[in-house]
Structure 1
Amino acid sequence: MHVAVYLPLLFPLPAALLARPVGERLPPRPATWLLTVGALVLAAAGTAALGMLAVTGLIRIPLLARLSHHHWSVLAAQHHDPASLSTALLAGTLAAAVTLLAGRMLWLRARTLAEAASEAACLPGNDQLVVLDDPAAEAYAIPGRPGRIVISTGMLDALDPIEHQVLLAHERAHLSQRHHLFVACAQLAAAANPLLRPLAHAVGYTVERWADETAGAAVGDRARVARAIGKAAIASRRTADQPGRRLPAAVLGFLGRLRPAPLPGPVPRRVTALLAPVPRRPAWPALVLGALALAAAACALEAGLDLDALLDLVKRAATGHGAH
């Protein structure tokens, strides 16, 4: 545990720097999977490392040794434990905080998805598509059973008939590919480790790119998708921001935003990506991010084996079969 237990706490730093390059240099579908799984693995490995460090502090407490059914030697623990007591206490505090934050995020996301499903069920009609008589240019998908696609008349007026097909294909991709779950998992990882927030932001971008490419394949013209996104963004900027408008936080929209917003940001990046060839080969940032996630998992496993050996040693020391 001397080194292995600390490395999972450091790996999120370079991973955060790789998040945006991975999202832009890898095709969106594998990029979304890699960023989401990588974030979850890095968060789990870091949380496990904090927990293991906390355990090394707990086994030094004489009262716990006496109360436990599994007796161990406190002296042996103090002698063989590689981490200082102050480090163990700090790790325990951080582990408790991380658990609370992750639990809170899990509860909020579950409640948000439940609210979205309820909202989808309450929309008028039985079809997947719902058209609202609203001058605001909006289009978004609401996950549920079944999921619903909501498009305003303002958005329909801003686009031509071919671009309507683009819009529908984009929103259907969000529902059929369960993009809201990727976003939720990445946000959960970021709650457990704030250093992973860039990966969560990147997942929010790549799911939109994934839906863009799906729409491009459906209409057979990626440039048409880029023009539709640009026109929708301009229409959204011209729309008056209506006070009191509220949408479920789980929805995913055609512009990647739920409210009219300034044009600079993810939208121009998506348009640029659609006007360029789709990346075909894994880029080095993706390989490095994957290697970091695998290394974090391996280090956490190694630290777990070392902790198991330490616990076995202090138990044997308590029965006189090991050194005190």
Structure 2
Amino acid sequence: MSVAACLLLYSFALAMLAPRLLVRLTHAGAAPRLGVAAWLAAIGSVVGSWVVATGFLVTELVRDWAEPRQAILSTCFAQLRAVAAGRYGVAVQGGLFLLSGVAAMVVAVLVARLGRSLLRARATTCEYARMARLAGRHDPALGAVVLDVPERAAYCVAGRPSTIVLTRGALAALDERHVDAVLAHERAHLSGHHHLLLALTRGLAAILPRIDLVTTGAAEIARLLEMCADDTAARAHGRRTVLHALLTLSGAAPVPAGALGASGVGVLARAERLAAPPEPASRWRIRLLLGTTAALVAGGPLLAGGLIAAGLSLCGPMTS
């Protein structure tokens, strides 16, 4: 069995099993940062395995094209070579070339769609930040732009420069302590570059909508990033203050596309977590499980590459 086959089997198993396991470990938000890392490691491991497996397949194809051997995979390549040479007729040969062309086009389209998605997300957030600065007034004391609208809303938009937006309705509903907590929440998003992680994972979910690991991961990462920002604000202003601000802003104006808002995602789960945080023993247990899971899923492709680099062909071709 080739390295490519090992990686493809590994990625298939991980894509099937990881979503349910990771949702169970991260749902309560006991360790949101490690939860984000575990989801990213799983998604990156699957996509990376596909890329590395493709590289190994191409390498073996080129090698076996010139020096065919009796391994199972080499025999397959020998048959493909015979088809490509026209031994089985022009129709079969044309079908092989058509299939190869379609596969290459699909990969190119997926990569192009991901690139366009990332560029579009960047352009949208930059434009919205610019429009918010034009429509609102900058408050130096808050370090934010205030929009003169009655709806309660607070969010941040990445751009040049990045912008935190508060509405007049939000300022009227919150006292000074709660406003400070909301601002700390939004600054945590900007300083943590959370918009980049969301743009990447949502872009992957858009081009791979049938891969549950990617689609579920994008949604879970968005929720966990809000919990990370909640924790940053709570360390400075207290959990009760953040909870009150979150409940005050919940159910109000929706957060614009591309923005990150204090009441944008997973409000109920975050409120429950702030009101009744996990016990220390439970947090440490989840951290240990998530850390181990992230290390294992990230190490799969690296282990295969390391074995090959060390000359240990455990997954290398087997000759008869």
Scaled by the length of structure 1, the TM-score of the pair is 0.72
Percent of matched pairs sharing the same residue: 26
Is 2:150 the partner of 1:135?
yes
Give matches, 1:1-324, under 5 Å: 1-2=1-2, 4-5=6-7, 6-23=9-26, 24-53=28-57, 56=60, 72-73=66-67, 75-76=68-69, 79=71, 81=73, 84=76, 97-98=106-107, 100-122=109-131, 123-124=133-134, 128-190=143-205, 191=207, 194-197=211-214, 198-219=216-237, 221-234=238-251, 236=252, 247=256, 249-257=257-265, 266-278=266-278, 280-283=283-286, 285-286=289-290, 287-299=292-304, 302=307
* Displacement after TM superposition at 1:211 (Å): 0.7
| Counterpart secondary structure, 1:131 | strand
1:222 touches 1:275 (CA, 8 Å); kept in 2?
yes
**Per the alignment, in what secondary structure is the counterpart of residue 156 of structure 2?**
strand
2 CA distance for matches of 1:299 and 1:14? 20
Structure 1 stretch 208-217 or stretch 126-135: which is displaced more? 126-135
**Cα 1:291/1:26, change in 2 over 3 Å:** farther
RMSD across aligned C-alpha pairs, in angstroms? 3.7
In 1, are the aligned partners of 2:114 and 2:204 still within 8 Å (CA)?
A: no
After superposition, the Cα gap between the structure-2 partners of 1:145 and 1:53, relative to the gap in structure 1 and judged at 3 Å, is same
Q: Following the alignment from structure 1 to structure 2, what is the Cα–Cα distance between the partners of residues 107 and 96? A: 16
Residue 144 of structure 1: SS of its match in structure 2?
coil
1-structure distance, mates of 2:177, 2:300: 47
Q: Per-residue deviation at 1:28?
A: 1.8
Greater alpha carbon shift after TM alignment, 202-211 vs 180-189: 180-189
Q: Which amino acid aligns with 1:294?
A: G
Under a length normalisation based on structure 2, what TM-score does the superposition of the two structures give?
Answer: 0.73
Measured after TM superposition, the shift of residue 84 of structure 1 is: 4.4
Q: What is the CA-CA distance between 1:301 and the residue it aligns to?
A: 5.5
Deviations 1:34-76 (A, max 9, x none): 322332232211333245346656767xxxx5xxxxxx13x43
Give the residue type in structure 2 aligned to 1:152.
Answer: T
Q: Once structures 1 and 2 are overlaid, which stretch shifts more, 98-107 or 223-232?
A: 98-107
Tell me by how many angstroms 1:204 deviates. Answer: 0.4
- Is the 8 Å Cα contact of residues 47 and 95 (structure 1) preserved in structure 2? no
- Unpaired runs of at least 5, structure 2: 81-95
Bigger drift between 132-141 and 157-166 goes to 157-166
Q: What's the offset of the Cα at 1:31?
A: 2.2
Specify whether residues 91 and 32 from structure 1 end up closer, same or farther in structure 2 by C-alpha distance, changes over 3 A only. farther
Query: Could you tell me how far apart the structure 2 residues matched to 1:94 and 1:50 are?
Result: 12
> Aligned with 2:155: secondary structure?
strand
Amino acid at match of 1:46: W
CA contact (8 A) 2:45 2:301 kept: yes
Contact 1:53–1:92 under 8 Å retained in 2: no
Q: CA deviation at 1:180?
A: 0.8
1:222 and 1:10 map into 2 onto residues whose CA distance is: 39
Unaligned runs of 5+ in 1: 66-71, 258-265, 314-322
Contact in 1 for aligned 2:156/2:162 (Cα 8 Å): yes
Change (3 A) 1:83 1:196: farther
User: CA offset at residue 208 of structure 1?
Assistant: 0.3
**Bigger relative CO (Cα 8 Å, ≥ 6 apart):** 1
**Structure 1 residues 248-300: Cα deviation after superposition (integer angstroms, max 9, x where no partner):** x331111125xxxxxxxx21101111122355315265123431232244246
For 2:222 and 2:197, the matched residues in 1 are separated by 8
Aligned length in residues: 282
Deviation of 1:165 after TM superposition, in Å, equals: 1.4
Letter in 1 for 2:24: P
Residue 92 of structure 2: aligned partner: none
Q: Contact conserved, 1:139 with 1:149, CA < 8 A, in 2?
A: yes
Q: Which moved more, 1:160-169 or 1:170-179?
A: 160-169
Alpha-carbon offset, residue 143 of structure 1: 0.6
Structure 2: how far apart are the matches of 1:48 and 1:21?
29
**Is the partner of 1:4 in helix, strand or coil?**
helix
